[in-house]
Amino acid sequence: RKTKLGADHPDTPTSINNLAFTLKARGFTSRAISLMDDCCKLGLVIFGPRHPNMISFREVLTIWQLEALEI
């Protein structure tokens, strides 16, 4: 999607989010966290900090990071 729609299209962070969830489910946690971080950075630019998608993206990233640390 990023190539087809462009990095600034609202569907791009959502697609990155979906890919991150798929990778996490398949056991690629480190890559999933990296993608979710990219998703948050891009989403912040596109949606702004208070958009519901951004809140969800950040929450998921935080949870995954904490899980990776086994806290």
What confidence tens digit (pLDDT) does each residue in 6-45 have? 778 899 999 999 999 999 999 999 999 999 999 999 999 9
Predicted local confidence at residue 1, as pLDDT? 56
Predicted local confidence at residue 6, as pLDDT? 75
Containing domain of residue 22, as a range? 2-69
Structural domains counted in the chain: 1
| Residue 26 or 5, more confident | 26
Place of tokens 């990778």: 23
Helix (H, G, I), strand (E, B) or coil at 70: coil
Angstrom distance (rounded) from CA 18 to CA 50: 20
Predicted local confidence at residue 71, as pLDDT? 61
Sign of the Cα torsion 57, 25, 65, 16 reads negative
Place of tokens 């791009």: 12
